[in-house]
């Protein structure tokens, strides 16, 4: 699912003031200059006082100048700049880190002059407080609209700034705007089109009143109580800088409105709390609201508590007490799930049903008030959408806060919260990050796949999240696809064999384990054919392959792309996500149709023919890609069988449009009831009605040695030894090893995309061990030079770790700024080291890289894929603690012109065939054709008696014998039967697999 940067902006007062209006009122302090742009503040960076630029990539930071202007609002110079921003970019003034932070608390706000371009675009303005310096502080944000021309003074009271919920440079400090510890400001310029700007005279203005530094808050927005219980609302006074209040603060309260009836459901309450002058910050008082026991069953009822505050800033919203629903059949956990669903469904309104079918981004709902207003059924965190600080405790606290909001709805239907935990809990800093799926496929170890799923589920559920948008069951048919590493491989039989991961995530296929504190609901994605999209067929931005068109015959669709979904359904998969891509079935007369609108596939094949009983969740804003107007989008997707719509920021439009379409008869009530029943069924199975809040008892195991041991094993088993001239590997600890290359000591490159952020990033951003660190921990005698600039004399062997930098989805498509060639720096490192000594080259990447032109100069070659956080697993096979056992999950091409190239192709002449993988520390059988025939006969006999384990071992012996003979003599005549043999092995035709290996042996 694609993820875009999030921005939450507060309200903003803008004013056009004449120059004379800058004079301050008699009792106001004089304005305090922050930036005059006359040259008093240099262009610099932390830790010095200065102005500097930043952006999402090298092209995005704006250019800045101090420019002489006769029309400057103040002085002779103004700050000017030009920009052309694709992602995000802007500039910052950070105060010197070596000096004390600034105190702005005496002022009402901050203002500056802006030269308008009347382009209607929003300019984000932020201030920084707390922490150690400007780059380790909290960000508070708002924005103004450039809808004017000429100079205008933008005036922002400090009360307009909101804490950024989507991004903070460090962990949260106190989430309180600390005007006594300010570190500067920042401006985020508009992305998407070229522009220029001019700015002048940033200054503090006005006199602060107490309400700017004192605020009243309640400890929760919602207070659920059982009928007859008493709610206790804790009201706290807080001040900036923890100073006592100078003047009294009063809080008048009264229960009024809501769905509960005063006198029958609760005792009306009113009164006034007083915090006298001199009251310290943090002082709290309590309001009690008694409820009454009423006879019979009833839905939840609300009692708003209106608060009127003088002398301080009031809470952003009034709290409400909720009398819990009680006595209704759906609340009885002893009833079968089917009866509970039927009872609840019968009570729900159309608006409530529409809400259950709606999923919003957590960054879009802010504090969460809309959860109850729109009866939302689900929230998600997109890639990089994390709480601050990004800790297990903060995740659980955030999600519990959202779940609390759902308790203010009539039937208190809990939310189901989802994340893309595609290789471990990859949004969480410090989590255990597994190899991406392509590496798991290389392991050929279904038990290991299940173990990685179990670790992921345990870490995800321990943070309060019951739903994982994984695994990807795509069958990757073209390595130019930016998502190819999310696939277990190019052979549907391999993908099916790795679907044991579903049991790791969900537990037993009948769903009985879903309520456990270490299991999550899994998602099979992306239905169907996403791995078959043709290069050049995408119409999404600059993508070349992702979200494009898959053109197949009906038989190819069944054999290649649908097969893994049948297996997933049999394994009890809870949810399925359609693909962004279009499907064009040759001869069906429909042409290319977006999968979210293909009712023949979602309703017809998945639900009816395969018998899928879970629910279908759309991809991120995917319905927006359907033809027609928005109502048509909604109607097409829902009628095609999509049960819940991921509409991150348009959740209000979706739920309203859905209800309108039902009222107009264009979507049937029967279809809505089917969708909601499917969703509620999974919520009941997950135990969310009984336990909606996070069970953090397993949080101690997040990133634990036991979990990292699984990831380390997965990293080791994923390593594929493609070439091992002279038996160079494994290395000896006595050897002096020269290590070079861009990916030897880079945890971000090693973990790849979908790690902390959607696209991932180079560098150290989570906890783990790089390959270099793993080699040193293994006891290796290692010298490291990233660019191979250190002299190369005197070493026994070189290890050059090269490959890709992180990417995700279509951003990583070949032709969209990416290629299958090593970078110039990586090529130079390989050339220098391999010319000076025996060398092993490790390729850390999400897909094969084209190295045929250097293969003769490389002694040993390893496909390391994206091994995750445990680089010690790679070191384990390099130094012989574990054997190399991995096999290619995809064909390794000789050139890009061969693509797409896959096992089973009529013409098949790769660099290394599918299934190839040398081994170490393993006895390879001796002999020739006679030995192979004997192995074939034994494999056939074992196959007949149903002994899969013995059959696989026999085929493996035959494969190793053939590989030993082949060495570097790979030809088309050898490659095709060799690859076919691995496919036959995975489909249980063991005797025929050995037969193909005999054919390959004879052709060598």
Predicted pLDDT at 26: 52
271, β-bridge pairs: 253
Is the pLDDT score of 16 beyond 60? no
**Predicted confidence band at 212 (pLDDT cuts at 50, 70, 90)?**
confident
Distance (Å) of CA 460 to CA 711, 751, 752, 775? 15, 18, 19, 30
Q: How far apart are CA 742 and CA 406, in angstroms?
A: 48
> Is-catalytic flag, 486?
no
**Predicted confidence band at 851 (pLDDT cuts at 50, 70, 90)?**
very high
920 versus 26: the higher-pLDDT residue is 920
Predicted pLDDT at 6: 28
Mean pLDDT computed over 262-267: 97
**Predicted confidence band at 178 (pLDDT cuts at 50, 70, 90)?**
confident
173 versus 879: the higher-pLDDT residue is 879
Mean pLDDT computed over 780-787: 98
CA dihedral 591, 592, 596, 600 (to 10 degrees): 30
> Is-catalytic flag, 948?
no
Is the pLDDT score of 24 beyond 80? no
pLDDT digits (tens, 9 = 90+) for 925-934: 899 999 999 9
Q: Produce one character per residue of 20-40: b if its CB has 16 or more CB atoms within 10 Å, e if not.
A: eebeeeeeeeebeebbbbbee
842 Cβ contact partners less than 8 Å away, ≥ 6 residues apart = 741, 743, 771, 799, 800, 801, 802, 803, 862, 864, 874
pLDDT digits (tens, 9 = 90+) for 119-142: 999 999 999 999 899 999 999 999
Distance of alpha carbon 70 from its chain centroid, rounded?
Answer: 49
Q: What is the DSSP string of 787-833?
A: TS-S--TT-SEEEEEEEPPP--GGGG-BTTTB-SSPPHHHHHHHHHH
End-to-end alpha carbon distance in the chain: 45
Predicted pLDDT at 12: 33
Predicted pLDDT at 242: 75
Q: What is the DSSP string of 96-114?
A: PTTSPPB--TTSSEEEEEE
Distance (Å) of CA 26 to CA 23, 30, 107? 9, 9, 14
Mean pLDDT value across the chain = 94
Identified catalytic residue from 166, 352, 809, 980: 809
pLDDT digits (tens, 9 = 90+) for 911-925: 999 999 999 999 998
pTM: 0.86
Mean pLDDT computed over 355-362: 97
Identified catalytic residue from 490, 491, 619, 872: 619
User: Quick one: tokens of 964?
Assistant: 């030993």
Predicted pLDDT at 208: 81
Mean pLDDT computed over 708-736: 98
Is the pLDDT score of 711 beyond 50? yes
**Structural contact between residues 868 and 715, judged by C-beta atoms closer than 8 angstroms:** yes
Taking alpha carbons only, the member of 685, 515, 668, 667 closest to residue 614 is 685
């Amino acid at each position: 699912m694609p993820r875009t940067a999030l921005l939450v902006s507060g309200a903003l007062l803008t004013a056009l003031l004449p120059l004379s209006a800058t004079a301050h009122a008699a009792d106001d302090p004089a304005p305090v200059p922050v930036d005059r742009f006359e040259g008093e503040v240099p262009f610099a960076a932390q830790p010095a006082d200065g102005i500097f630029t930043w952006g999402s990539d090298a092209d995005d930071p704006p250019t800045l100048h101090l420019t002489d202007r006769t029309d400057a609002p103040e002085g002779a110079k103004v700050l000017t700049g030009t920009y052309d921003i694709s992602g995000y970019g802007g500039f910052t003034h950070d105060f010197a880190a070596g000096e004390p932070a600034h105190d702005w608390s005496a002022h009402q706000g901050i203002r500056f002059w802006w030269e308008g371009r009347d382009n209607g675009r929003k300019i984000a303005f932020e201030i920084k407080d707390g922490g150690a310096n400007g780059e380790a502080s909290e960000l508070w944000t708002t924005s103004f609209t450039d809808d004017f021309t000429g100079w205008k003074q933008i005036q922002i009271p400090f009360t307009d700034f909101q804490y950024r919920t989507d991004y903070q440079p460090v962990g949260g400090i106190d989430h309180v705007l600390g005007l006594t510890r300010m570190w500067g400001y920042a401006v985020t310029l508009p992305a998407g089109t070229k522009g220029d700007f001019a700015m002048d005279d940033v200054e503090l203005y006005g006199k602060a009143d107490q309400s700017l530094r004192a605020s009243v808050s309640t400890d929760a927005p919602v207070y659920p109580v059982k009928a007859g219980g008493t709610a206790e609302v804790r009201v706290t006074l807080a001040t900036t800088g923890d100073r006592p209040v100078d003047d009294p603060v009063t809080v008048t309260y009264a229960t009024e409105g809501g769905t509960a009836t005063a006198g029958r459901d609760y005792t009306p309450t009113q009164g006034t709390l007083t915090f006298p002058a001199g009251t310290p910050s943090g002082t709290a008082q309590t309001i009690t609201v008694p409820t009454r026991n009423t006879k019979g069953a009833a839905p939840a009822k609300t009692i708003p508590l209106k608060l009127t505050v003088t002398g301080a800033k009031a809470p952003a919203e009034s709290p409400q007490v909720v009398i819990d629903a009680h006595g209704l059949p759906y609340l009885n956990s002893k009833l079968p799930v089917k009866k509970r669903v039927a009872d609840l469904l019968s009570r729900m309104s159309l608006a409530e049903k529409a809400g259950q079918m709606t999923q919003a981004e957590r960054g879009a709902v802010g504090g969460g008030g809309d959860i109850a207003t729109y009866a939302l059924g689900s929230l998600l965190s997109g890639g990089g959408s994390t709480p601050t600080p990004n800790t297990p405790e903060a995740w659980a606290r955030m999600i519990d806060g959202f779940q609390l909001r759902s308790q203010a709805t009539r039937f208190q239907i809990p939310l189901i919260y989802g994340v893309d935990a595609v290789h471990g809990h990859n949004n969480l800093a410090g989590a255990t990050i597994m190899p991406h799926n392509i590496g798991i496929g290389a392991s050929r170890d279904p038990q290991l796949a299940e173990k990685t799923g179990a670790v992921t589920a345990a870490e995800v559920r321990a943070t309060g999240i019951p739903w994982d948008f994984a695994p990807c069951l795509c069958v990757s048919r073209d390595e130019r696809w930016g998502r190819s590493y999310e696939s277990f491989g190019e052979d549907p039989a391999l993908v099916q064999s790795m679907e044991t991961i579903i049991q790791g995530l969900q537990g037993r296929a009948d769903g009985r384990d879903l309520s456990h504190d270490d299991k999550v609901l899994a998602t099979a994605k992306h239905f169907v054919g996403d791995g078959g999209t043709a290069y050049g067929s995408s119409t999404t931005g600059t993508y070349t392959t992702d979200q494009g068109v898959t053109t197949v015959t009906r038989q190819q669709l069944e054999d290649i792309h649908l097969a893994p979904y049948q297996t997933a359904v049999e394994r009890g998969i809870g949810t399925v996500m359609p693909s962004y891509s279009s499907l064009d079935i040759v001869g069906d007369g429909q042409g290319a149709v977006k999968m979210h609108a293909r009712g023949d596939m979602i309703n017809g094949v998945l639900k009816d023919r395969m018998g899928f009983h879970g629910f279908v969740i759309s991809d991120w804003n995917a319905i927006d890609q359907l033809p027609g107007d928005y109502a048509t989008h909604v109607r097409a997707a829902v009628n095609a069988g999509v049960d819940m719509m991921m509409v991150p920021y348009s959740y209000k439009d979706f739920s309203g449009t859905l209800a309108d379409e039902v009222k107009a008869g264009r979507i049937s009530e029967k279809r809505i009831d089917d969708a909601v029943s499917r969703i509620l069924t999974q919520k009941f199975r997950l135990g969310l009605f009984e336990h909606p809040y996070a069970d953090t008892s397993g949080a101690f195991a997040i990133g634990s040695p036991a979990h990292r041991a699984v990831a380390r094993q997965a990293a080791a088993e994923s390593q594929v030894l493609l070439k091992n001239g002279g038996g160079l590997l494994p290395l000896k600890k006595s050897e002096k090893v020269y290590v070079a290359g861009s990916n030897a000591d880079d945890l971000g490159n090693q973990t790849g995309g979908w790690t902390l952020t959607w696209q991932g990033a180079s560098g150290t951003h989570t906890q783990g061990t790089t390959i270099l660190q793993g080699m040193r921990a293994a006891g290796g005698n290692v010298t490291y030079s990233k660019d191979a600039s250190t002299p190369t004399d005197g070493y026994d062997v070189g290890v050059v770790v090269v490959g890709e930098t992180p990417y995700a989805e279509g951003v990583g498509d070949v032709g969209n700024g990416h290629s299958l060639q090593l970078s110039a720096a990586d090529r130079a490192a390989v050339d220098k080291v391999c010319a000076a000594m025996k060398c092993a080259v490790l390729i850390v990447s999400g897909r094969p890289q084209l190295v045929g032109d250097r293969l003769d100069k490389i002694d040993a070659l390893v496909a390391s894929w994206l091994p995750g956080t445990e680089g010690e697993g790679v070191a384990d096979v390099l130094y012989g603690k574990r054997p190399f056992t991995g096999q290619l999950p995809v064909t390794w091409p000789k050139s890009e012109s061969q693509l797409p190239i896959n096992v089973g192709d009529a013409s098949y002449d790769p660099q290394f065939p599918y299934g190839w993988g040398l081994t170490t520390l393993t006895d390879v059988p001796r002999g020739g054709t006679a030995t192979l025939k004997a192995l074939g006969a034994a494999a056939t006999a074992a196959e007949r008696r149903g002994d899969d384990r013995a059959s696989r071992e026999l085929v493996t012996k035959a494969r190793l014998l053939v590989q030993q003979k082949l060495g570097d003599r790979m030809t088309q005549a050898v490659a095709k039967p060799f690859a076919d043999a691995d496919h036959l092995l995975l489909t249980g035709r063991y005797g025929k697999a050995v037969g193909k290996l005999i054919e390959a042996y004879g052709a060598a």
